Structure 1
Amino acid sequence: MPEITTRNILFLPQEVREFAFANVDHLAPTRTVAAGNNIKELNYSLQDWNDFRYQVDDEIYSLDDFEGREAFRGLIVVQGNNILLEDYADGHEEDTTWVSFSVTKSITSMLIGAAIKDGYIESIDDPISDYIIALKGTEYEAVTIRNLLQMSTGIAWNEDYGDPESDVAIAGTYNGERLISYLSGLPRVAAPGALYNYNTAESNLAGELLRSAINGNASIYLEEKIWSPYGMEHDAYWLLSSPNGSETGGCCLNATLRDYARIGLFALDSGILGDGTETFAADWMEISTSPSDQNSGYGLSWWLGDEESYYARGIF
């Protein structure tokens, strides 16, 4: 088993991914996001899916077709607090964690929403350099938090996962001074807010902004604001840039399938906890899942679908 690092996690050979992606907390530096004592219960209300069909490129497929794919590891369908479907591949169970990759971007976005509600951040339209002083005097000085979360900073970036020399391969998991140094050396290709360009490192920069604003680490903030109070069932693990380093804001929270479903329910609940506590401002999720001017399919680090649907998405 090769060592997993923030540099090579995108390029592991297929034959090791199944084990590695389910065991990141054993193979790489992570920080624990502890579950609380009061679990948000999900009730079994399983349905018959034998007649379910879906279409891709004029081909019709069944649920068995989907779950028979080589990369399939688990699938859960939840409506309200009811589990309508829950299936796992061999070797994967209810307590198996799996690395989320870019799903983490949506979680970082929600934590920034919580930081605004808590008063750590004044406005989504603040320049990010108000919180990351090292960016003053760089091309990022006038970039706002909104620009950052909408992937519209106007800075050049190559997000080609198949190219080991691309920006994302080199710096996609950088944090701290190394991240700021790399991004500060990239050229501007458009004004802030004028052009959409997907950039994982800038989600890591959002993580830097969050940590600077709250003067703490993102794992504890996630635990305090979402994981424990909403009732996640299992501990999660957030990949760090190095041992005792910083969380990777754009990647690699590791959680169980049921807790990923609970994250979706938390978003649908607009961050309102069971006791009525509001994690965000009342309109935060509406703003987060509204299309940006630069890309009608992207909001504040959330992907947008048809009929007012939205989703978090990660590679693999």
Structure 2
Amino acid sequence: MSHHLIRKTVLAGAVAAAGLVAAPALAPAHAQVPLDPATPNFLMWSPELQSRGYRAIEDVFQVNTIERGEAVRPLVMADRQIDPTFTHDGQDWTVASYMEAFNVSGVLVLKDGQILLERYGMGRQPADRWTSFSVAKSVTSTLVGAAIQDGKIAGLNAPVTDYIPELAGSAYDGVTVRQLLMMSSGVTWNEDYTDPKSDVANAGVAPGEPGMNAMVSYMRRLPRANPPGAVFNYNTGETDLVGLLVSNATGQSLAAYASEKIWKPYGMERDAIWMVDPTGQERGGCCISMTLRDYGRVGQFVLEGGMAGDRAVLPAGWVEAATTRQIDNGAAGYGYFWWMNPSGAYQASGIFGQSITTYRDDGLVIVINSAWPRATGADLSAARSAFLDAVHAAAKE
């Protein structure tokens, strides 16, 4: 595993949602416009900065490398290509107009592992990586499955404190691995990105205890709000805990383990990079950068049940459980760091318009990378849903 640091920054808060503070200028190789010192927050980058920075996170933040292997799994063009059109919000749309209006840098559609549609925007090229934001959570949960398959984690009902002993005596006593993956630990957590006093804003900047991971130090002081497993509460801090749990259980960094279990055996085309905290621990909840086609390969790997060639990387039944409703989240449901889509798909989702949407029964994987003008928004999500519906319909014709 290689370790790469071009320019050090201070990470504040859980990276998937908020609080990346003071990003310095990108390296000259990517220079199109300089980063504006008056716009220090990662969530406040201008479209120009998003376009450049999302492709070059390693030039701004500390990262570890997920190394690819020697062989690349081919993704061939299907005999039939699609170019769907649709109507949304009283307007007719094409793939091109949707991509331009919503700052989409890449769309990839795989049907039975073959490419039905591949399109790039915002100056992005096929070899360019793009940051995942919270799509990384779904990769992290997949690595939990791999660690269970390897016998490194005893199982979903194993206590979290077996792997992060510093949490013993805290509100995490009695919480299982499964309950963390369901966002249902019952521990108090405020994920309000607009509240400067929220946990998500403060967790990354609060002083930690000497010799302890700062996130663990923060979260072991939180009180309990609900019984474990009872209530869904979206918690990016706990996804970082899951990442640390996997590292502790396997004795490897998340990047090295992802390389061993997915990138090398499945045949990713390019090294990926994973953002780390100031201690060098990968953020389980955020920010893997990979190529558009490698996003597609991640989706295809999960769709195929976690098989790499003839080897099962994940336990039997893992994918079905992880990607089906395990808990009520007030919407279509939530699995193990996977969202359920009202249309029947399961989805890895990240802010600013990142998603891997999979229609299991149709063998269909749809990847979208974007630089939305806002982290989230009902209007943005509704337009993406309309686009996904149009792609889904065209792929089934």
TM-score w.r.t. the length of structure 2 is 0.74
Indicate the SS of the match to 1:43: coil
Superposed, 1:72-151 pairs within 5 Å as 72-151=104-183
Go from structure 1 to structure 2 and tell me whether the alpha carbon gap of 1:54 and 1:169 turns closer, same or farther (over 3 Å shift): farther
User: Over residues 265-291 of structure 1, what are the superposed CA-to-partner deviations in whole Å (9 max), with x where a residue is unaligned?
Assistant: 0000111112x1000111000111121
Amino acid in structure 2 at the alignment position of 1:6: L
Q: CA deviation at 1:166?
A: 2.4
- Provide the rounded CA distance (Å) in 1 between the counterparts of 2:314 and 2:121: 36
Shift of 1:50: 4.4
The answer on 1:22 being equivalent to 2:58 is: no
Query: What is the Cα deviation at residue 172 of structure 1?
Result: 5.8
Asked if the contact 2:66–2:274 (Cα under 8 Å) also holds between the matched residues in 1, the reply is yes
Q: What is the Cα deviation at residue 231 of structure 1?
A: 0.3
Separation (CA, whole Å) in 1 of partners of 2:79 and 2:10: 39
Provide Cα deviations, 1:153-188, integer angstroms capped at 9, x if missing partner.
111212123334422222269995211121122221
After superposing the two structures, state which structure 1 stretch, 41-50 or 68-77, moved more: 41-50
Unaligned segments of structure 2, at least 5 residues = 1-6, 13-18, 21-41, 353-397
Separation of aligned partners in 2, 1:91 and 1:173: 35
> 2: distance between equivalents of 1:62 and 1:161?
33
- Paired with 1:265 and 1:22, the residues of 2 have a C-alpha distance of 23
1-side partners of 2:91 and 2:172: how far apart? 45
| Secondary structure of 1:312's aligned partner | strand
Q: Secondary structure at the match of 1:197?
A: coil
8 A Cα contact 1:173 1:248, kept in partner: no
CA offsets 1:294-315 (integer angstroms, 9 cap, x no match): 3351001011124642110000
How large is the RMSD of aligned CA atoms in angstroms? 2.2
TM superposition outliers: structure 1 runs of 4+ over 6 Å: none
Larger deviation: 71-80 or 259-268? Answer: 71-80
Q: Which amino acid aligns with 2:339?
A: W
- Aligned residue identity for 1:158: N
Contact map agreement 1:241 1:248 (CA 8 A) in 2: yes
Aligned to 2:101: 69
User: Is the 1:194–1:294 contact (alpha carbons within 8 Å) kept by the matching residues of 2?
Assistant: no
What is the aligned partner in structure 2 of residue 261 from structure 1? Answer: 296
- Compared CA separation, residues 167 and 47, structure 1 to 2 (3 A): farther
CA distance in structure 2 between the aligned counterparts of 1:149 and 1:93, rounded to whole angstroms: 34
The CA distance in 2 between the partners of 1:13 and 1:84, in whole Å, is: 32
Q: Corresponding residue for 2:235?
A: 199
For 1:58 and 1:197, the matched residues in 2 are separated by 35
- Provide the C-alpha distance between the structure 1 equivalents of 2:184 and 2:156, rounded to a whole number of angstroms: 14
Pairing of 1:189-228 with structure 2 (within 5 A): 189-228=225-264
* 2:285 match: 250
The answer on whether the counterparts of 2:144 and 2:246 sit within 8 Å (CA) in structure 1 is yes
- Aligned residue pair count: 312
Conservation of the 8 A alpha-carbon contact between 1:173 and 1:201: no
1:236 aligns with 2:272: yes
Q: Extract unaligned runs of 5+ from structure 1.
A: none
Give secondary structure in 2 for the equivalent of 1:262.
Answer: helix
Q: Does structure 1 retain, via aligned residues, the 8 Å contact 2:182–2:327?
A: no
Is the deviation greater in 89-98 or in 276-285?
89-98
Q: Classify the secondary structure of the residue corresponding to 1:68.
A: helix
- When structure 1 is superposed on structure 2, of 7-16 and 198-207 the one drifting more is 7-16
Question: Aligned pair in 2 of structure 1 residues 41, 138: CA closer, same or farther (>3 Å)?
Answer: same
Are the counterparts in 2 of residues 155 and 188 from structure 1 also a CA contact under 8 Å? Answer: yes
Distance 1:179 1:51, change over 3 A: closer
User: How is 1:52-67 mapped onto 2 (pairs within 5 angstroms)?
Assistant: 52-53=85-86, 55=88, 61-67=93-99
Shift of 1:94: 0.6
Deviates more, 1:200-209 or 1:7-16: 7-16
Between 58-67 and 292-301, report the one with greater CA deviation. 58-67
- Cα gap change, 1:98/1:234 in structure 2, threshold over 3 Å: closer, same or farther? same
Deviates more, 1:303-312 or 1:185-194: 303-312
Between the two proteins, what is the percent identity of the paired residues? 38
Q: Is 1:40 aligned to residue 73 of structure 2? A: yes
1:282 aligns with 2:316: yes
